[in-house]
Amino acid sequence: MKKRIAKKKMGNYLWNQSHNPNLCLPKISEIYEDCDGFNHIVSDMKLFHQQFQNGWVLYDASYIREDGHYFCGCMNLMLCPPRSPEEIRKYWKMDSYSQEYIDEQRNLGWWNEQSDRQLEFVKSGGIVCDEQGLPTKEWIALK
C-alpha cells in the first residue's frame, strides 16, 4: 500500500527520469562526470527522506567525491555518465582563449591566478587527466 501511495503522489516523474539514457543512478566507487570538467569517484552518499502518510519517500540525495567535495552535477537523484579522457582533454585545451577573452573574464571576476596557472600548465603540455578521466596530481596541485 505504501508504494502505491508514493507512486500516485509522485506520478511518473521519477520513473521517467530514471529511464533517461543521459543520466545514471549512482553507486559508491563508480565514476561519474562532475561540473568541474572531470570524472570523479563516488565515495559516499547522503539520502534524504520525507514522511508521507504512512511511509517515507526518497526525495533527494547528495553524492560525495573522492576528494571530499560534493558533486554539483546532481539532478533528480542521478549523475551524468563519465566522459572519455579525450573529451576532457579537448575541454581543457584552451587553445581558443584570446587575450581579450581572458581580460574580459578577469574583469568579470571569473578568471583568477589559478586560471593563469592552469593555462600555463596546459600550454606547456601538462596532462590534465588519466585514462579514467580523473584529474592528475599535477593538475590538483595547481589549486
pLDDT of 67-80, one tens digit each? 999 988 666 667 88
Does residue 59 lie in a domain region? yes
User: How far are the Cα atoms of 58, 112, 142 from residue 52, in angstroms, in the given order?
Assistant: 10, 47, 47
What is the residue range of 17's domain?
2-82
28 within domain boundaries: yes
Does some domain include residue 62? Answer: yes
Residues 6+ apart with CB under 8 A from 139: 118, 121, 126, 127, 128, 129
Average of per-residue pLDDT across 77-90: 88
N-term to C-term CA, the chain: 52
| Predicted pLDDT at 91 | 87
Domain count, the chain: 1
Confirm whether 73 is domain-assigned.
Answer: yes
pLDDT tens for each residue of 88-103: 998 888 777 888 999 9
Q: Is residue 71 situated within a structural domain?
A: yes
Rounded distance between C-alpha atoms, residue 61 and residue 44, angstroms: 11
Q: What is the pLDDT of residues 27-76, one digit of tens each?
A: 889 999 998 889 999 999 888 888 888 888 877 788 899 999 998 866 66
pLDDT at 65: 92
Asked if residue 117 belongs to a domain, the reply is no
Is 138 a domain residue?
Answer: no
Q: Is residue 96 assigned to a domain?
A: no
